[in-house]
Amino acid sequence: MATARNARQAKRYHHGALREGLVKAGLEILEERGVEGLSLRACAERLGVSHAAPAHHFKSFKALTSALAAVGFRELGADLATARQDELDPLAAVRAAFTAYLLFVGRHPELFRLMFSAPRVDAEDDDLRAAAVAAYGELAALAKPYHAKLGGRFSMTELQVEQMIWSTIHGYAELYVGNQIACSPDELGALAVEAGKFAEILEAAADGE
């Protein structure tokens, strides 16, 4: 019975579909067990294929984790892009993006940890780098109008303004996943509102208040 099932699964995942299946299984296992419970073998077992099958698509465990992190950055980047583009006002755009960032973390806490865990992923992986750069680009876009207002007044480069905005929301996210801030998953919207107050501070500084 088991052999027949494995044969059916192997046929199902033939011609490239296995890689997609392994990534999907990896994302599921990651959120269920954390990165410590994730392995190529566990992914293979979930799909019902041989333990050697993943090697055709992922040469190492780090290759798998890098693929998972890339998925995370693409989703986060898309969420940020939608939030930012739906708001024409810079203040509203920052608030919306902060909300999108925290809601992403609420949906995928273990994936978020993996995305920013340098030793566990291959920073030179092309797909991962492209996804991470694109996601950061959405945060950088939020900073442009504020740099125009604040850069000269406070002698800040565009990069410094970008990092100030990113570190604010990322700090809240890290505190949440690290259980260092009192917040349940259903309270993330309220936490995003709290984090979004930072945009009001930027506005006040830009207006010289």
Binned at pLDDT 50, 70 and 90, residue 126 comes out as very high
Taking the C-alpha atoms of 115, 118, 122 and 127 in order, what is their torsion angle to the nearest 10 degrees?
A: 30
Give pLDDT tens digits for 80-95.
999 998 888 888 899 8
- How many Cβ atoms from other residues are within 10 Å of residue 88's Cβ? 8
Domains assigned to the chain: 2-56 (1.10.10), 61-207 (1.10.357.10)
pLDDT (mean) for 117-131 = 94
Tokens representing 170? 């990322």
Tally of CB atoms within 10 A around 66: 24
What percent of the chain clears pLDDT 90, i.e. is strictly above it? 56
Q: What are the tens digits of pLDDT across the range 41-75?
A: 999 999 988 888 888 889 999 999 999 999 999 99
pTM: 0.87
